[in-house]
Amino acid sequence: MKMRRPFIAANWKMNKTLSETREFIANFIPVVRDVSDIDIAIAPPFTLLRAAAEALKGTNILLSAQNVFYEEKGAYTGEISPLMVCDAGCKYVIIGHSERRQYFNETDLIVNRKIKAAKKAGLGVILCIGESLEEREAGKTFDVLLKQIEEGLNGVDLENLIIAYEPIWAIGTGKTATSEQAQEAHAYIRERLKILYGNRADESCIIYGGSVTPDNIDSLMACSDVDGALVGGASLKVDSFCRIVKFKKEK
């Protein structure tokens, strides 16, 4: 079986200016230059992608977009196509983040269309799934994950696809799923992938997102089915994101 390679991504959301981006990358590169066994990605806002791509050229850091539209071109004012994202230098794109689902009414059908469009353009996909606090308390976590997996990945192969489990109740709240909660959800996701895709699921990268910090990254990464992290607020500062990238491996 192919070994799963850790994947740590920074989702900057709607943060940072051009000068702040250049300063972050300039300070970040030297610290992680020696990291060779982990894939690192940064997802800035659209307006910063080209500058970030130039600053990251020749480094071990991948560039990701935070979102994408499902058409290649056309009369879709304000939208960004997969081809545009590729042209800006991106290798990955985040799709289905809970904030997109909540604030912009993105359904699993829309998420599925975006994944197919992104993969057609040659982009790697980070698919976000996760349950709300109400759904967790009602015992519906697995039902929600199953629906998001089956509908979001309908007609999609696992090639160059990462799943990010992000419990909505832990995003930006300071609350983090315990290691046991994270492992339970990740194990369930992998089992469902096995049903859909067979043994290829054992090679699939499943990462955790939701108030990831330097304080909890080690315990999260010690879980057997947690293969990395999608980091929000803690990725905005060089020191904290470097500590997350350089998590301490369980001996």
What is the separation of C-alpha 242 from the centre of its chain, rounded to a whole number of angstroms? Answer: 17
CA dihedral (230, 206, 91, 113) positive or negative:
negative
Q: At what angle do helices 18-32 and 238-245 cross, to 10 degrees?
A: 40
Q: Report which residue type is found at 139.
A: G
pLDDT classification of 108: cutoffs 50, 70, 90: very high
Length of the chain counted residue by residue: 251
Classified by CATH at the fold level, domain 7-245 comes out as: TIM Barrel (3.20.20)
Could you state, in order of their start, the residue ranges of all structural domains in the chain?
Answer: 7-245
How far is residue 168 from each of residues 35, 87, 203, 221, 251, measured CA to CA in Å? Answer: 30, 31, 25, 20, 31
116 vs 123: CA distance, rounded Å: 10
Convert the pLDDT of each residue in 52-92 to its tens digit.
999 999 999 999 999 999 999 999 999 999 999 999 999 99
183 vs 230: CA distance, rounded Å: 15
Is 166 among the residues known to form the active site?
yes
What whole-number percentage of the chain has pLDDT above 70? 98
pLDDT classification of 48: cutoffs 50, 70, 90: very high
Residue with tokens 């991504």: 9
Q: Report which residue type is found at 18.
A: L
Among candidate residues 97, 131, 135, 186, the one labeled active-site is 97
pLDDT classification of 205: cutoffs 50, 70, 90: very high
Is 186 among the residues known to form the active site?
no
How far is residue 11 from each of residues 72, 116, 157, 224, 229, measured CA to CA in Å? Answer: 24, 21, 24, 24, 10
198 vs 212: CA distance, rounded Å: 30
- Position with higher pLDDT, 175 vs 154: 154
Q: What is the residue-averaged pLDDT of the chain? A: 95
Neighbours of 229 (CB within 10 A): 28
Convert the pLDDT of each residue in 230-250 to its tens digit.
999 999 999 999 999 999 876
Among candidate residues 106, 131, 135, 166, the one labeled active-site is 166
pLDDT classification of 176: cutoffs 50, 70, 90: confident
Burial (CB count <10 Å: 0-12, 13-18, 19+), residue 78? exposed
